[in-house]
Amino acid sequence: MNTPNFTPTKCEACPIRHRAVCARCNADELVELDAIKYYRSYEAGQTVIWSGDKMSFVGSVVSGIATLTQTMEDGRTQMVGLLLPSDFVGRPGRGGAAYNVIATTDVVMCCFRKKPFEDLMERTPHIAHRLLEMTLDELDAAREWMLVLGRKTAREKIASLLSIIARRNTAPTPDKNNDIMVFDLPLTREAMADYLGLTLETVSRQMSALKRDEVIHLDGKRHITVPDMGRLLEEAGDDNDGGFLI
Amino acid sequence: MNTPNFTPTKCEACPIRHRAVCARCNADELVELDAIKYYRSYEAGQTVIWSGDKMSFVGSVVSGIATLTQTMEDGRTQMVGLLLPSDFVGRPGRGGAAYNVIATTDVVMCCFRKKPFEDLMERTPHIAHRLLEMTLDELDAAREWMLVLGRKTAREKIASLLSIIARRNTAPTPDKNNDIMVFDLPLTREAMADYLGLTLETVSRQMSALKRDEVIHLDGKRHITVPDMGRLLEEAGDDNDGGFLI
DNA sequence: GGTCTCAATTGATCTGGGTCAAAGTTAGTC
DNA sequence: GACTAACTTTGACCCAGATCAATTGAGACC
């Protein structure tokens, strides 16, 4: 696990400043970034980028949640990434998109036109370094997920997903050693299934089972309370500190 | 798919020169790299790096084959990467290793002490860029593999693995449109199973089935002939150009 | 309130791949 | 050539999760 040391700047709206670029950036870089920056909005369900399309921008999620998915001709789909606020989208130096990017909720993105961004990256090593950092994080996440997909049972998969979302979604609980976590599930059962390589029925059944066994509490379909994070991690199969995803 | 444009230099033994660094590197960089470079050998079966250990070097595979694996407490293991000659190992800027690296055959690695390499990277943007390129390639490969693990059948998984190895292993066939491919499988059935999220029995059965259906020919246990690559790709479920892994 | 729609649950049944077990190959090594 | 030991194949059986199908919410809108 790797927590970037960045010094937050004044611009709250644009995460790329904080996370993608600003580890040690200087005023000039910020001015340049501001000059090529703009915003885009997408509605829930809308496709942000189609796999294979050429991408004209890179950027990061400001608010909302998007997913990266791959699809086979016969319709089987696998989610390969989850984009939460402050996550970076785009592949500097690459022509086309490799996956579908789909807005799960309404999404606002902070974008930079690709060419100017790449030029800026060429001139400012900090940006390239920060991007390498982030890409290594994503690679770790993807490989962690390969273990989930290849070797875990349905119940373990669900627990793994919940613990990842809990970790990313919860404001640090005032509670002592954040045993308790409360959050809203940003995904439908079908989306969860696509992430986990399961069917939505299996997801539903395992959610019910975890609820029955009091590993989680469900309030409505989406609002979740985890009374004991340690227990959830056990269920996920990574007893230790493990399981850090995207 | 992304084929790096590198201009080969004189040093045949050290792939990092050619692939990791030398897209547009200059003489100074080469001299510096030479100064901090050394070689290591590992026997088949030997563990190169344990997950969690701090890594003192980065480098690349010169000869032989190694694997990246993750393991759960109860012994379930998932291979998350395959390292063939010229592949890069190590995570500049990161402290510890995230996976076990295991030599499948005898392996020779060309290594650079980590700190000097990072210092060099700091000074020479080309290296950081090249590393970003490579990491993006690995990320694509990992995500492609997530689709394989999450959504493909056993038969499709085997076909996917074989087509990847064929693509990486075969010298370009003199044959017209390289329909035919011949290569040696560098993995045991168990290693294949760990890569594909299957058991070795299932791998064996599916190999036999592909042989029976004449998708492949087996000569001994390891020497494989693919009479029609198009057919194999169909079996893998990626009809188009698809399936490019590591 | 009713009703339309879409997400989610639950049940019944089926099956691909896992598990357990035995037998066959191959490459060393003495 | 016989003896190991490690790898591989094949068979018989089982079960976790898929599939097919019906039911139950929970908003949103009139």
Q: What are phi and psi of B132, to 5 degrees?
A: -60, -45
The CA–C1' separation of A96 and D19, in angstroms, is: 36
| Residue B80, CA distances (Å) to A151, B70, B160 in order | 12, 7, 15
**Alpha-carbon distances of A121 from A92, A128, B218, rounded to whole Å:** 9, 6, 49
Helix (H, G, I), strand (E, B) or coil at A20: helix
CA distance A43 to chain B (A): 25
Q: Residue A117: is its pLDDT beyond 80?
A: yes
CA A204 / C1′ C5 distance in Å? 20
Strand D atom within 7 Å of B197 CB:
no
A174 to chain B, closest Cα gap in Å = 30
CB-nearest to A125 from B128, B145, B152 is: B128
The pair of three-digit structure tokens given for residue B103, joined into one six-digit string: 């030599």
Closest Cβ opposite residue B139 in set A73, A142, A152: A142
pLDDT value, residue A118: 87
Alpha-carbon dihedral angle through residues B81, A21, A93, A118, given to the nearest 10 degrees:
-170
Taking CB atoms and an 8 Å limit, are A76 and B142 in contact across chains?
Answer: no
A24 inside 8 A of chain B by CB: no
- Kindly determine whether residue B72 and residue A122, on different chains, have CB atoms separated by under 8 Å: no
List alpha helices for A56-197, DSSP H: 114-123, 125-151, 154-169, 189-196
Chain B residues whose beta carbon lies within 8 Å of the beta carbon of residue A126: none
**Which pLDDT does position A172 carry in this prediction?**
56
pLDDT of residue A134: 87
Whether the pTM exceeds 0.80: the reply is yes
pLDDT at B118: 87
Rounded to the nearest angstrom, the gap between the alpha carbon of residue B102 and the centroid of all alpha carbons in its chain is 12
Residue the block writes with tokens 């030997």? B46
pLDDT for A244 beyond 60: no
Q: Cβ contact (<8 Å) for B98 and A122?
A: no
> Tell me, in Å, how far CA of B227 is from C1' of D15?
37
- Enumerate the domain spans of chain A: 15-146, 152-236
> What ipTM was reported for this prediction?
0.87
B66-106 per-position pLDDT tens digit: 999 999 999 999 999 999 887 888 888 888 888 999 999 89
Write out pLDDT tens, residues A40-93.
888 888 899 888 888 888 888 888 899 999 999 999 999 999 998 878 888 888
Specify the CATH number for A15-146; select among 2.170.8.10, 2.40.160.20, 2.60.120.10, 3.20.20.220: 2.60.120.10
H or E segment at A233? helix A229-236
Interface test with A, best of B72, B91, B147 (most A CBs within 10 A): B147
Between CA A219 and CA B224 the distance in angstroms is 55
Q: ∠B29-B30-B33 over CA atoms, to 5°? A: 85
d(CA B151, CA B124): 42
Report the pLDDT value the prediction gives residue A2, as an integer from 0 to 100. 36
Please give the sequence-ordered ranges of beta strands (E in DSSP) within B104-228, or none if there are none.
107-113, 181-184, 217-219, 223-226
* Spatial strand order in the sheet of B66-71: B47-49, B100-103, B66-71, B77-83
Mean pLDDT, to the nearest integer, of A169-182? Answer: 66
Distance in angstroms between the alpha carbons of the first and the last residue of chain B: 10
Predicted local confidence at residue A170, as pLDDT: 58
**What's residue A3's pLDDT?**
35
Q: Percentage of residues in chain A with pLDDT exceeding 90?
A: 41
**Class (C level, CATH) for A152-236:** mainly alpha
CATH number attached to the domain at B15-147 = 2.60.120.10
Instruction: Give the pLDDT of chain B (246 residues) as one tens digit per residue.
Output: 333 333 333 344 444 544 444 434 445 566 667 777 888 889 888 899 888 888 888 888 888 899 999 999 999 999 999 998 878 888 888 888 889 999 998 998 888 888 888 888 888 777 788 888 889 999 999 999 999 999 999 999 999 999 999 988 655 555 556 678 898 898 999 999 999 999 999 999 999 999 999 999 998 888 899 999 999 999 999 765 444 433
% helix / strand / coil in chain A, to the nearest 5?
40, 20, 40
One of 1.10.10.10, 3.40.50.1970, 1.10.287.70, 3.40.50.620 is the CATH number of B153-236, namely 1.10.10.10
Question: What would the two tokens of residue A214 be?
Answer: 């009091």
For chain B, percent of residues with pLDDT exceeding 90: 40
Top-confidence residue, A123 or A172: A123
